[in-house]
Chains A and B, each alone.
Chain A
Amino acid sequence: DADVTQTPRNRITKTGKRIMLECSQTKGHDRMYWYRQDPGLGLRLIYYSFDVKDINKGEISDGYSVSRQAQAKFSLSLESAIPNQTALYFCATGGTGTGTDTQYFGPGTRLTVL
């Protein structure tokens, strides 16, 4: 089984709809991240969480919200989706105490907003 899973893997929705992307991990890591990837722009950080009670905005948090339901679960919501939120979304985890910020990525969710 994959260490970091994302659901759904693909989603097509319409402008104005509320969407939730979910991420679960079995690595036991404290840190979790949400990124979006766009061609030519690379990975951009949306939100990150260093533990269950910690939520931080990243580079591009406007239009997004997150919830850290448990150490293993971190969900991303688009309250009112718009077409320029069409992108590939990745969840990642990182462990403390390793001395590095190695991040382990999920397989991604391809979101299309019409």
Chain B
Amino acid sequence: QKEVEQDPGPLSVPEGAIVSLNCTYSNSAFQYFMWYRQYSRKGPELLMYTYSSGNKEDGRFTAQVDKSSKYISLFIRDSQPSDSATYLCAMTETSYDKVIFGPGTSLSVIP
């Protein structure tokens, strides 16, 4: 079993849809959870960062962490074509540990 698993996608949605991207993990020591967005032919960039369980909202994006279920989600409201990218979940035990990345989910938002 991989340490971090992610819905494989690809995911294709119409513009304006609500998108749910999910990851599960096996290491209960993970405390820091991140979502990175990677556009085609670019390096990943940090989108959302959450510590421990709970929700965090930033504009159209909401990150949720459920440590009891070892499950994290990223919700995108009112999705836009510019949201078309690969989304990578990532997590680490402490703020200075190695970061473990999920394999990524490719999202296409169709106008």
Instruction: Indicate whether A and B interact.
Output: yes
Of all chain B residues, the one with the shortest Cβ separation from A35 is B101
> Are B32 and A101 in contact, with the CB atoms below 8 A?
yes
For chain B, the bracket of interface size reads 20 to 34
Interface class of chain B by DSSP: loop
Contacts of B92 in A (CB 8 A): 101
Q: Which residues of A contact B43 (CB under 8 A)?
A: 4, 90, 92, 105-108
Of the candidates B6, B8, B41, B99, the one whose C-beta lies within 8 Å of that of A103 is B99
Q: Is the CB of B45 within 8 A of A42?
A: no
Contact of A105 with B49 at beta-carbon distance under 8 Å, contacts A42-B101, A48-B98, A100-B32 already known: no
A residues adjacent to B (C-beta < 8 A):
4, 35, 40-45, 48, 50, 58, 90, 92, 96, 98-108
- A–B complex contacts, Cβ < 8 Å, 21 sampled: A4-B43, A35-B101, A40-B8, A41-B103, A42-B6, A42-B102, A43-B44, A48-B98, A99-B95, A100-B32, A101-B32, A101-B95, A101-B96, A102-B49, A103-B46, A104-B45, A104-B46, A106-B43, A107-B42, A107-B43, A108-B43
Binding site for A on B (CB under 8 A): 6, 8, 32, 34, 41-46, 49, 88, 92, 95-99, 101-104
